[in-house]
Structure 1
């Protein structure tokens, strides 16, 4: 229960950190997007105003003759021009009568200043609350008395004989521009919590996926510890019981003492074998590539194993034979002792689970890239639901931990670890009541 709580807390912290980091990244991206959109629109706005102002400037400058005087022909370009201090000229706007139709849009205005910076004429949709003070800066952003924002450009005007005439300012309201940016900002502000919430849900799901291998590994360690403790406890309990029985006797004759020592020796040997297997698995886990490798002849290894287990096969009334499917010797680069141990574990496993009168066949073949070793038996077989677990450490198909076949449940795990350390593969095919086939594939010698 405590472990589950620990993993849930770890998952929550992982999800929160992930959501926090993503929130910071998304916030920075949102700010960057807003800055990029704003910059792009300011650039577009400047280009638009500069284009309109440049066209108007060039058109008017060709018609100016005296400094500070507007020629009547300018009225054709700016029909609604209004001279400060005089009656404003107001004519209906006809887009066919002039070329600068942009000036007559609701958000554009034009201002004329003389050489002394005095405002003396306006045109377009001129905001009356705008300050009449002249500013020589090329670009200005200013507000009227109602708080509305305008953006304008200032250009110098000359007469036809290149005398200074004054200045022209062309500007426009940027309310539509600010409204668009406000909409973008609002979208980002309102969208961020929704996106961050979705990221939070995704991070909780991703944290579960990330924690699954760790949780599985932790459960395997727990199971391994429990199984190892069980396996170690059995011979230790038998040893303790034997010693206690001997101590309760007033005296031991030579025969009883020898039997007691033989029992202790068997249990000690069982403990030694178990610890040796555990150390071998630990070494294979930490050092996946065998330390010492040499050229190994698989034909010789298989023949030696058939000879070694012949007596065991005869004692259990099982036919044990080899089947070499190729005529030339098969050599690979491997650790011979480990390879010998791996194949022997599979042969012992096949003999133990094959009933009297059955067969165990060890076949050797090769393809272009791999050497194939098959250990086939006619034993009890393995249920399909158990096939994915048979290489787990201390795992037994029968949960009652029967000792009828002996062993510690590490044989197949060791066989797989050795094959994987040699960059090979091992798999099993089995049918309940019909037998099993274990197939080893090892890379050929280059």
Structure 2
């Protein structure tokens, strides 16, 4: 095994973040933010079937409330974002899986330290839900957003107030921007309390995980931004960050995904039991695993022709494996060249949390199969759960018929792929402009 997702494998190849050039790492971060948004899309159908519309709504609120106050604070610390004003709140939004760039096209205005506003020129989430009718639009844009925007802002200032100017259902039809909100710091108001779901998740290993200091890059083409302590920028052009900053962002965004899954499981357990939580986590994890592989592969130019070595590149960066400091993931190409050996070590922090680790720990290979078959449907996965953790052999069968019924895309992946985010294409980044008070 290699010693985690970073560093050389037995064949001398370097996988994980260390195996990426600066421009590839910048591309990965953008993909991670969008993949994180799609985790929500992967889980919602299962919630709807299990609990109905109101139950789905309430779990969605609680999962984001459980995750975002913690991960927003972690990202601020990782990138040297100090201060407690609206500009710092907006910086947090820009690095949040709830607001992936372009797909959720946030535009910001800062009036002064205590006042600002934002609007969405394009909301991919609205584009997904709007065809389903006004009731679902209201659930997302009113019921869910009203308590979850303040939960994210809480990490910067507990006295932050986020209020809508207008939001969907759109009137008149086709109205742009899709929504508009104000943000203000009310110095006279008592500070809000940490949302109850975040208080419950505060003891999770993912919340307190510490990463080692990343190594400096050696690519002369890499960006010059070592952190985000400067002014708020209209857009983040990730290649402008240096390698160490990109590593920090990539690690934190990967952890955001796990925190969201923990919040999901926590909210489901509150309404049912552990078995139901694991079953719905399995659906969520399987759906996002197939879509994540496809997006990461496309961003890095990996195809089925690259064989197990190409799949190894993807697994080392995949949400079910990264960050290795949390999941205990390691990997090696098999000596016969026909597959991979994967391992999630039993002593890893994620086993202490009740998120996606529970899915693998239950012996279910569905998420790994979905991840591998998104590259080549001829892969199969053999899973072994023991005291040392979880081991998986991902094996390529060159003789298998990829068009056979047994290789059809899993329902969980197909349903997640219905979101427009699954096939979203990023455009050229607009030139970042410092946003200063008007």
Q: TM-score band, normalised by the shorter chain? A: under 0.3
Rg comparison, structure with higher value: 1
- TM-score normalised by structure 2 residue count: 0.25
Give the structure with the larger strand fraction.
1
